Structure 1
């Protein structure tokens, strides 16, 4: 089983979720108003409150074949809109 973690702008969330559904993902979890610091700087609480610069964290658990479809569908969106995505192994409890 694979785990995909995405940090994307909330403004682009609809396009990201549409691509996830289109790739055959069985589901996803979205956490909005994610703040933090990365290579491009920090997202402040004031940016989070206003919605300007607010990010979302999307988590997907799926089988390997679906993960490859997700990679193909999401890479162009991440290149265009920005954001990061990481694919890792996941083991069920």
Structure 2
């Protein structure tokens, strides 16, 4: 099983989640208002309140075969909107 972590702007959640469903993701979790420091600098609370800097974290667990379909659907969107994705192995308890 694979785990996909996506970090992106909240404004892009609609197209990203639609692409996940279309690509066959069995489900996903979304955490809004994610803060931190990255390549673009620090996301501060004042940026979040305006909606300018609000980020989201999307987590998907799926089989490797489905991951390839998800990757093909998401890469063009991440390249267009920005954001990052990371894949790791996952084992159910």
Aligned to 1:48: 48
Aligned to 2:90: 90
SS of equivalent residue, structure 1 residue 76: helix
Equivalents in 2 of 1:49, 1:61: separation in Å?
30
Report the RMSD for the aligned CA atoms in angstroms.
0.6
Question: TM-score if structure 2 supplies the norm length?
Answer: 0.97
Question: TM-score if structure 1 supplies the norm length?
Answer: 0.97
Q: CA deviation at 1:61?
A: 0.2
- Does residue 18 (structure 1) correspond to residue 18 (structure 2)? The answer is yes
Equivalents in 2 of 1:39, 1:55: separation in Å?
13
Equivalents in 2 of 1:60, 1:68: separation in Å?
13
SS of equivalent residue, structure 2 residue 12: helix
- Does residue 31 (structure 1) correspond to residue 31 (structure 2)? The answer is yes
Q: Structure 2: any 5+ residue segments left out of the alignment?
A: none
Q: CA deviation at 1:50?
A: 1.8
Q: Structure 1: any 5+ residue segments left out of the alignment?
A: none
